[in-house]
Structure 1
Amino acid sequence: MKQVLNRLFNHQQLSRAESKDILTRMSMGEYNESQIAAFISVYLMRSISIDEFLGFTDALLELCADVTPLAAYNPIDIVGTGGDNKNTFNISTLSCFTVAAAGYKVAKHGNYGATSVSGASTVMEQHGVKFTNDVSKLEKSLAETNIAYLHAPLFNNALKEVAPVRKALGVRTFFNMLGPVANPIRPKRSVLGVFNLKMARMYYYMYQQTDVDYAIVHGLDGYDEISLTGDFKVINRHSESIYSPELLGFERCSELDLDGGKTPEDASAIFDNVINNTATQAQKNAVIANSAIGIQTIAPGLSIQECVAQATEAIDSGKVKATFKRFLELNT
């Protein structure tokens, strides 16, 4: 590691093979926390290269636990990279439950928040969810509620090894970029939120080399999801479009409208309000908008307005509430 760090401190880049090897060794516990922190810090000062990104991704996917039976359901994952420093409530996680309630299969891959009050695993834990890597239990959840939750560290030792360092640093790291592509199911459908356009281009390059049906979303004012605070970009295999909130039939909202609060309990309360359809209109609209992109990624023949209508109906009808209730029965 000393040799690698010296190279990186001299502004050199790693090859794809070297990057894969380092992350593999990291997962095996070969480096101490100080070495991991130094390595991560390099990428706080310069951008990750394409080869480094692909090498780290190669390692994570190779190290993933085997969850082959879940892939047969062809689920979608809706996830943000995090690190946009907006401290929003759990919009992506709520969108996953909304899409599931609308009748589509979802495999949500998540973790604790590294740079926000509440990550996906944080809010799940607040509700008593017991994380598991038991494929039979996850399959039962997916079959009966249309959604399974995969707590990232249980499926990849590399993410477990770096978790204490990430938490201690408390800032955006390149692991924010890797988490969304490390879903062990390797879903063929994905909605991925990114906080800048440079990152969107990197994911676009990666996804174009796969057979994944994807939508990369970016709020032009810096959100890693559709915030409805301003215009947003959606990039998929076939097109690149800029939408306004008004085009989807929504009013613009403010950054404060989407704030996740100061504690995990605050974020959990907002989560419950959306589930129970008692949230503010701005909170509800943000979830509907992201859910609609997810539905359209699964069913590209539907117009965005039709997808918005499906997501809205899932919340208004109580389907989301019923789905989450059954999910908790199976997962707590």
Structure 2
Amino acid sequence: MKSLLTQLYAREPLSRQTAYETLSRVGNGEASDMEIAAVVSAINMRPAVLSEIQGFRDAMLELSRPIDLGGRQSIDIVGTGGDGKDTFNISTLSSFVVAGAGHLVTKHGSYGVSSSVGSSDVLQSLGVPFTHEEDALLAMLDRAGICFFHAPVFHPAMKNVVPVRKSLRVRSFFNLLGPLLNPAKPTHSLLGTYDRQVARVYDYILQEEPDQQYTIVHALDGYDEVSLTGGAAVRSKDRQKILQPEDFGFSQLRQEDLYGGSTVEEGKKIFLAVLNNESTAAQRDVVCANAGLAIHTIHPERSLLDCVATAQESLASGRARGVLNRLLA
């Protein structure tokens, strides 16, 4: 580990194989908390490196519990977190809206670490069960149109990292890995990141997966999703563009419009308000913008505005709320 840290402190990039071996050692319990903290801190000091993210991802997927969807096509809507914006659970709500529109969603997420309320926090507060049992998850998916992969259940080796992440309370390369680690390897993904360089790294990685259809979004003012507070850089296999709020059919929002509260109970309250059509217009619009972009990822032949309209109808009709009801049934 000493030579590894020397290399990292010299800002020398790790090869894919070295990164794989490093995280495998961490996942197998062969590194102390102090060594893990040193590695995390060193990597945090510089921009994301493609070979490192590839190697870390290789190790995490090898150590994870896989899920076989049996040929079902699905989408994951997930962000890195760590943008420091304290928004409500936009990507998770967007997942319910997309499922309400008739598309299978296999959502991967975890507890908030660098933010107050993560997807697992709010879903657990609502009574959504966490399991790694494949039959139970597929039954949820078929019944409700959505199932949730709670990251700690599917990546048990990362229990060795949890104490360090909780004590540091800052974003790290584990935030960057999260969107790339869905154990079901869904056919479609909408991935959000707070950093434009990370978006490029994601693009390079996903370009190597010919069966994966994806959209990567980075809000130019630092959100890890479409925020409608300004422009968003969007890239997929065959296009790159900047989308403005009006491209989604909405007006520009303010940062305070997206505040998600500081407790799980506050996050839960906003979550239910959106699904019950009792939220603010800003909360509704930003959810529909992200859900619309997800639907557009599945149906690129349709216009973005048409996909946003589908998302709005899913929410307004109560079908998105029905997804939650069936998930809890």
1:309 match: secondary structure: helix
Offset of 1:160 from its aligned partner? 2.7
Report the equivalent of 1:80: 79
Gaps in structure 2 of 5+ consecutive residues: none
Q: What TM-score, normalized to structure 2?
A: 0.97
Offset of 1:59 from its aligned partner? 0.9
Asked whether the 8 Å contact 1:71–1:185 carries over to 2, the reply is: no
CA, structure 1 residues 251+323, in 2 after alignment: closer, same or farther (shift >3 Å)?
A: same
Report the equivalent of 2:312: 312
Report the equivalent of 1:13: 13
Q: Name the CA distance, whole Å, in 1 between partners of 2:278 and 2:97.
A: 15
1:199 maps to 2:198: yes
Offset of 1:2 from its aligned partner? 2.6
Offset of 1:46 from its aligned partner? 1.4
Q: Name the CA distance, whole Å, in 2 between partners of 1:76 and 1:158.
A: 25
Give per-residue Cα distances to partners, 1:268-304, cap 9 Å, x unaligned. 1111111111110000001000000110111111111
Letter in 2 for 1:88: T
Report the equivalent of 1:65: 65
1:216 match: secondary structure: strand
Letter in 2 for 1:250: F
Give per-residue Cα distances to partners, 1:158-188, cap 9 Å, x unaligned. 4332122112111110000001101111112
Asked whether the 8 Å contact 1:71–1:186 carries over to 2, the reply is: no
Q: Name the CA distance, whole Å, in 2 between partners of 1:13 and 1:218.
A: 24
Q: Name the CA distance, whole Å, in 1 between partners of 2:110 and 2:326.
A: 22
**Superposed counterparts of 1:1-332, under 5 Å:** 1-68=1-68, 70=69, 72-211=71-210, 212-329=212-329
Q: Name the CA distance, whole Å, in 2 between partners of 1:14 and 1:247.
A: 40
Identity in percent: 45
Letter in 2 for 1:240: Q
Offset of 1:37 from its aligned partner? 0.9
Q: Name the CA distance, whole Å, in 2 between partners of 1:207 and 1:58.
A: 13
Q: Name the CA distance, whole Å, in 1 between partners of 2:280 and 2:158.
A: 35
CA, structure 1 residues 43+252, in 2 after alignment: closer, same or farther (shift >3 Å)?
A: same
Q: Name the CA distance, whole Å, in 2 between partners of 1:322 and 1:252.
A: 29
1:242 match: secondary structure: strand
Q: Name the CA distance, whole Å, in 2 between partners of 1:90 and 1:71.
A: 29
Q: Name the CA distance, whole Å, in 2 between partners of 1:259 and 1:63.
A: 35
2:135 match: secondary structure: helix
Q: Name the CA distance, whole Å, in 2 between partners of 1:111 and 1:213.
A: 23
1:180 match: secondary structure: helix
Q: What TM-score, normalized to structure 1?
A: 0.96
1:48 match: secondary structure: coil
Asked whether the 8 Å contact 2:101–2:311 carries over to 1, the reply is: yes
Q: Name the CA distance, whole Å, in 1 between partners of 2:326 and 2:71.
A: 22
Q: Name the CA distance, whole Å, in 2 between partners of 1:160 and 1:91.
A: 26
Offset of 1:239 from its aligned partner? 0.7
Gaps in structure 1 of 5+ consecutive residues: none
Q: Name the CA distance, whole Å, in 1 between partners of 2:6 and 2:220.
A: 36
CA, structure 1 residues 102+234, in 2 after alignment: closer, same or farther (shift >3 Å)?
A: same
Q: Name the CA distance, whole Å, in 2 between partners of 1:45 and 1:322.
A: 45
4+ residue stretches of structure 1 with deviation over 6 A?
Answer: none
Offset of 1:71 from its aligned partner? 5.2
Q: Name the CA distance, whole Å, in 2 between partners of 1:159 and 1:82.
A: 17
Q: What count of residue pairs does the alignment treat as equivalent?
A: 328
Q: RMSD of the TM alignment (CA)? A: 1.1
Offset of 1:86 from its aligned partner? 0.4
Letter in 2 for 1:217: V
Offset of 1:130 from its aligned partner? 2.2
Offset of 1:48 from its aligned partner? 3.1
Q: Name the CA distance, whole Å, in 1 between partners of 2:247 and 2:293.
A: 13
Offset of 1:206 from its aligned partner? 0.9
